[in-house]
Amino acid sequence: MPSLTVENYVKTIYQITSSQGGRPATTGQLATALGVSPGTVTSMLKTLDVARLATHRPYEGVSLSRAGRVLALRVLRRHRLLELFLMRVLDMTWDEVHDEAEHMEHAVSDLLVDRIDAWLGHPEVDPHGDPIPRADGESLPAPAGGPPRPLADCDTGATFRLARVIDQSAEFLRYLTDAGLAIGTVGEVEHQADGGGLMRIRVARGSVALARDAAAKLFVVEEPASAP
């Protein structure tokens, strides 16, 4: 049975490498993400290498083995299903569920997670739009509507549906809630970023100004333009 620390490391390695097109995660990236010293990371990477969960090459970085990837997806499956369960059943908000699921993901059994999955109707995404790994521990569902792209890359006039939020800090999620932006929200780009780095979008609540760095954290699927 992998330890809590091992599970946290493989999950974090998976998230970092996935976010950068498969490039290895560096010691510095892991130290920052996990809140530990680079020396602690280096020691743990040796353990993962010996356990054949990851391959660590000094000065290049670390990548997961097939076994490490399967374990990472299992942990992510637990986490994301727990987030959705807490939101639907206990009426928690999307800015509250991440930390709670973080505490619970190492304690629940695969049997309980499979029961939660069935009770929820086998959902494909969590409250933040992250794909929920399948029970086989090796695959992710294909995104509906095609791969999402950053809102910051959409042209003026584009109609979009918010599909995923990659910054899941409570502060940022509360900001989105106040702006009327939730997963599934449909909107239109009124104006791309100007000299001040702001872009303007229109959603049901009205017009919203977003900094480009905030818009880059929102992944959307472009919708066909409405017929006149």
Q: Phi and psi at residue 72, in whole multiples of 5°?
A: -60, -45
Predicted pLDDT at 135: 86
9 and 54 part of one domain: yes
Per DSSP, the residues of 167-189 read: ---HHHHHHHHHTT--TT-EEEE
Domain enclosing residue 177, as ranges: 149-223
Percentage with pLDDT > 90 across the chain: 77
What are the tens digits of pLDDT across the range 147-186? 889 999 999 999 999 999 999 899 999 999 999 999 999 9
Same domain, 118 and 154: no
Q: What is the mean pLDDT of residues 6-19?
A: 94
Same domain membership, residue 56 and residue 11? yes
Residue 228 confidence (pLDDT)? 43
The verdict on residue 23 lying in a domain is yes
pLDDT at position 193: 74
Phi, psi of 179, deg, nearest 5: -85, -5
Q: Mean of the pLDDT values across residues 203-207? A: 90
154, 160 contact by CB (below 8 A): yes
Residue 115 within a domain: yes
Of 27-31, 85-89, 94-98, 191-195, give the lowest mean pLDDT range. Answer: 191-195
- pLDDT, position 225: 64
Domain of 190, CATH number, reads 2.30.30.90
Q: Which of 141, 157, 190 is the last residue of a domain?
A: 141
Q: Same structural domain for residues 136 and 169?
A: no
- Residues 1-14 have a mean pLDDT of 92
Could you report the per-residue pLDDT of 65-84, keeping only the tens digit for each? Answer: 999 999 999 999 999 999 99
Q: How many domains does the chain have?
A: 3
Q: CB–CB of 185/127 below 8 Å? A: no
Residue 57 has pLDDT above 60, yes or no: yes
Does 197 have pLDDT greater than 90?
no
pLDDT of 139 reads 65
- Do 219 and 154 reside in the same domain of the chain? yes
Provide mean pLDDT across the span 83-103.
95
Confidence band, pLDDT 50/70/90 cuts, at residue 19: confident
- Give me the pLDDT at residue 138, please: 63
CB-CB contact of 64 with 17 (8 Å): yes
The reply to whether 31 falls in a domain is yes
155 and 219 share one domain: yes
User: Where a domain ends, among 118, 141, 164?
Assistant: 141
What pLDDT score does 11 carry? 96
Higher pLDDT, 142 or 64: 64
Q: Are residues 163 and 219 in the same domain?
A: yes
Q: What is the pLDDT of residue 55?
A: 95
Q: Would 190 be classed as within a structural domain?
A: yes
Asked if residue 163 and residue 122 are part of one domain, the reply reads: no
Say yes or no: 99 and 159 in one domain: no
Give a yes or no: residue 215 inside a domain.
Answer: yes
pLDDT of residue 227: 44
Determine, yes or no, domain membership for 71: no
Task: Confirm whether 179 is domain-assigned.
Answer: yes
Note whether 94 and 55 are same-domain residues. Answer: no
pLDDT band with cut points at 50, 70 and 90 for residue 136: confident
Q: Are residues 129 and 159 in the same domain?
A: no
Residue 153 sits in the same domain as residue 213: yes
Residues whose CB is less than 8 angstroms from the CB of residue 45 and which lie 6 or more positions away in sequence, other chains included:
9, 27, 30, 54, 56, 62
Percent of the chain with pLDDT over 70: 92
- 228 lies in some domain: no
Residue ending a domain, choose from 64, 86, 101: 64
